[in-house]
Structure 1
Amino acid sequence: MDKKNALRAGALAAGTTLMMLLMSSPALALTRDDGDDPGPGLSVIQTLGLYVLLPVALFAVIAGLVMALDKSKIRTIKPSSNVKSGADAKA
């Protein structure tokens, strides 16, 4: 019974996705609207800087600030005297 339900769910998901793809109209994005005045395009270097380098730099700055301003101390776990090690536990 589970296989039948999984097949039905997969068919429903595939059908829904196909209908959404068919109903969307990316070709209409080429027609200009009234008052549409796009600016000059970005070069490859500007695009990479804006969408790749800038987010990586922001991530690095935020991660660096978090590590620099972290007030917690590095704690080492010391073995307790009542806990036997692996070699002692076998004896």
Structure 2
Amino acid sequence: MVNKNALRAGTLAAGTALMMLLSSPAFATGGDDPGPGLSIGQTLGLYVGIPVALFVIIAGLVIVTDKSRKKPQD
């Protein structure tokens, strides 16, 4: 019988290898035109604002839907 952990590790290794082969540089386009850069506001919004907003939303949903603090009715 095959160990489940070994099967999972093999599946993960095969999946990772497949993804690396599919994303090899041979399939990449030229990449000569990087486009315009981001402003400071756009950069902060993208890399700071959105993650903080997602954290607040997820934390809020967890707090609102938490049932462990509710006391049973007598």
TM-score (norm 1): 0.42
Note the aligned Cα RMSD (angstroms). 1.8
Question: Of residues 57, 63, 70 in structure 2, which corresponds to 1:61?
Answer: 57
The residue number in structure 2 matching 1:71 is 67
TM-score (norm 2): 0.50
Alignment coverage as a number of residue pairs: 42
Amino acid at match of 2:59: A
- Sequence identity (%): 67
Alignment of 1:29-40 (within 5 A): 35-36=30-31, 37-40=33-36
Alignment of 1:14-29 (within 5 A): none
Structure (1 or 2) with the larger CA radius of gyration? 1
Tell me which stretches of 4 or more aligned residues in structure 1 moved more than 4 Å: none
Unpaired segments ≥5 residues, structure 2? 1-28
Equivalents in 2 of 1:60, 1:35: separation in Å? Answer: 39
